[in-house]
Amino acid sequence: MFDEESTRIRKQQKFLQDVEHAISDANREIIQAHIPRLDKASFVAFATRVAELRAEYLKAALAAAQGTDAVEYTALRARREAFEEAKAAFSALERAIERGYVDIAGAG
């Protein structure tokens, strides 16, 4: 009974490892087709744009807090959504780098 359970667990672990490897390969192939190489300048430019969107959102929030115009809150929502999307995209790119899906120009 114990041997059967051990065998089953080993098979499950092997299956999951194989699937994880296949998914990793698929991610790397697909992402590299769209982003063949990333360099420091483009990554920092992206981070800078996220910071700019954050600043625009916070500036709009402060302006909206001082007024009562619904248009200000519509603009605030648009700024928040732009910032949140850019921040999520930046996090996704960081994760892709960490997982080796993107080649880094100049990396050894």
Residue type, 11: K
Query: Above 80 in pLDDT, residue 15?
Result: yes
What integer pLDDT is reported at residue 107 of this predicted model?
Answer: 64
Which pTM does this prediction carry?
0.81
Contact yes or no for 47/39 (Cβ under 8 A) = no
Residues 67-84 pLDDT 10s: 766 678 888 999 999 999
Contact yes or no for 96/27 (Cβ under 8 A) = yes
Residues 22-37 pLDDT 10s: 999 999 999 999 998 8
> What's the rounded mean pLDDT across residues 90-108?
90
Task: Output the six-digit token pair for 88.
Answer: 């999520």
- Tell me what the pLDDT averaged over the chain comes to: 92
Q: Where do we find the tokens 């001082």?
A: 66
